[in-house]
Amino acid sequence: MAEPNYAVLVLICILFVSTTLFVSFSRKKSRSRRLPPGPSGWPLFGNMFHLGKMPHRTLAGLREKYGPVIWLRLGSIDTMVILSSRVAAEFFKNHDLNFAERTITNLSQSQDYHKGSIALAPYGTYWRVSRRLLTMDMLVTRRLNETAPIRRKCVDDMLTWIREAASADNVRLGEGIHLARFVFLMTFNLLGNLLLSRDLLDPDSKVGSEFFEAMTGVMERSGRMTIADLFPWLSWLGPQGLRRKMDLDMGKAMRIASDFVRERIEEKKIKGDDDQRDFLDVLLEFEGNGKDEPAKLSDRQIETFILINFSMYNLKEDRHSSINTTFSFMEIFFAGAETSSSTVEWALTELLRDPDSMDKVQAELSRVVGSNRKVQETDIDQLPYLQAVVKETLRLHPPLPFLVPRRAMGNTVFMGYDIPENTQVFVNAWAMGRDPDVWEDPMAFKPERFIGSRLDYKGQHYEFIPFGAGRRMCAGVPLAHRVLHLALSSLLHEFNWEFDGRNDAKTIDRRDRVGMTMRKYVPLLVVPKRRAM
């Protein structure tokens, strides 16, 4: 008979006693304050098993029983969930600052990504400086107008790739192309031109394929929580192997990105000033206030800033003062490319399921644009039905169903409830887009509901906040607005679309999966055919 492993037995006993004491302490603490209602949880695990595979859907279903604000305990994490526009309005209007921090997950710390992320950066001076650099120098209206030809060129490249793919044997046999991949690559090159004045990816390049695969791996894992998040005292067990995979993919993506950046810096040194002014030039020309910001950025800071995370966090002193701010080059690519590709994929899915809406939007394009030219960004304001299609897609399929979770900066009272410091907050934008108290026939795809409506997604209408609201809403909305409309309208103006031979409007899979964004669980495969206009 084998001898018992006393070390393991002792460890199990310690864990059991620690867990029992922790649960007992948590229950006593909870009874001393008024918390929002919510389902009873399991000892130790809390409400983890209430979430299911699609938590945005599961939690939306709890509103009928518990109301528009509910309380969960996910392992050791106190969590508040907001499920209605009325509660969201109170949250963003009157408590925005109280919940201005973010939850930092174990996977988001891969390669120190969290230190260079605008979305995850601690609320303070360096967050404000980095956001100012982005919004005032890259996403300001004047700059966006100047870069319209870049977006048109990148969309033209995408259309060329699709035409080439459409001529392949497998497409002629009825097997479709993976549309989201082409939109993803287009958006990546678009951002590459804005940041570094160069295309970064090509559908047939080896480096491009490696970069795409690494980025896809990062994005699929970014929205997941691990054992280390839910039970910090068990972090020594390792976060289910996900952190190792995340480190590998993030490291590969950053190494490839670093080559892009260094090549552009060397090109600038050789050619000197040229007519291509990009975001790298903004960093080279940066002038701080000399107090909490340096007067200039050193070469090392600029390389780090625009390189791996744009991180200038805790850098060593060199020939200039270090800057206590962070910014994420990778984050712009993650958020921009993934948001655009997933939204276009959902839009085309919904239009193919609704031929009447497809006919209306293509008829509008034919009337406004005609057959002798391409869609331009200046046409967008003259395409109200196209705009309604984009809005309706974002209502039903917000890129981030929970937005980016907030975190309470201190103990606070919200809607009469006592919310403790460090509480995680999920704002369920997916549930708000389907709220029957706000939307008529909320489950149906009806772009007409936005015709003549002033509702927009700029953070002021809380029933419709696919990009968030408040001081930490997505900074890239002005660029996303242009890219989404230009890409979708060009695809619809250039091609007629059909489901591939294995799907039709009745059998198409509409399940979603949540990673960095809410993408179709089964990628959309479609057959493009040139339009006769």
DSSP string for 287-324: ---SSSS-SS--HHHHHHHHTTS--BSSPPP-SS----
DSSP string for 84-150: SHHHHHHHHHHSTGGG-EE---TGGGGGGGGGG-TTTSPSSHHHHHHHHHHHHHTSSHHHHHHTHHH
Long-range contacts of 118-123 (CB under 8 A, 24+ apart): 118/326, 118/327, 118/328, 118/331, 118/475, 119/328, 119/331, 119/335, 119/404, 119/472, 120/404, 121/326, 123/409, 123/472
Which of 329, 353, 368 shows the shortest CA–CA distance to 485?
A: 368
Given a contact cutoff of 8 angstroms between Cβ atoms, the answer to whether 188 and 196 are in contact is no
How is the beta sheet containing 101-102 ordered, strand by strand?
Answer: 69-74, 77-82, 424-427, 406-407, 101-102
* Residues near 505 by beta carbon (within 8 Å), at least 6 away in sequence: 352, 353, 355, 499
* Residues near 398 by beta carbon (within 8 Å), at least 6 away in sequence: 429, 430, 433, 465, 466, 518
**Chain centre to alpha carbon of residue 135:** 17
C-alpha span between 145 and 190 (Å, rounded): 14
As given in the structure block, the two tokens for residue 344 are 């276009």
Given a contact cutoff of 8 angstroms between Cβ atoms, the answer to whether 503 and 522 are in contact is no
C-alpha span between 299 and 285 (Å, rounded): 12
* Residues near 526 by beta carbon (within 8 Å), at least 6 away in sequence: 176, 177, 179, 348, 352, 497, 498, 499, 500
C-alpha span between 431 and 449 (Å, rounded): 18
Given a contact cutoff of 8 angstroms between Cβ atoms, the answer to whether 317 and 268 are in contact is no
Quote the radius of gyration of the chain (alpha carbons, Å). 24
Residue ranges at the known binding site for heme:
474
Exposed, middle or buried: residue 160 (CB in 10 Å: 0-12, 13-18, 19+)?
Answer: exposed
Taking the CA atoms of residue 413, residue 419, residue 424 and residue 430 in that order, the dihedral angle to the nearest 10 degrees is: -60
DSSP string for 512-526: EEESSSEEESS--EE
Q: Residue 355, Cβ neighbours under 10 Å: how many? A: 10
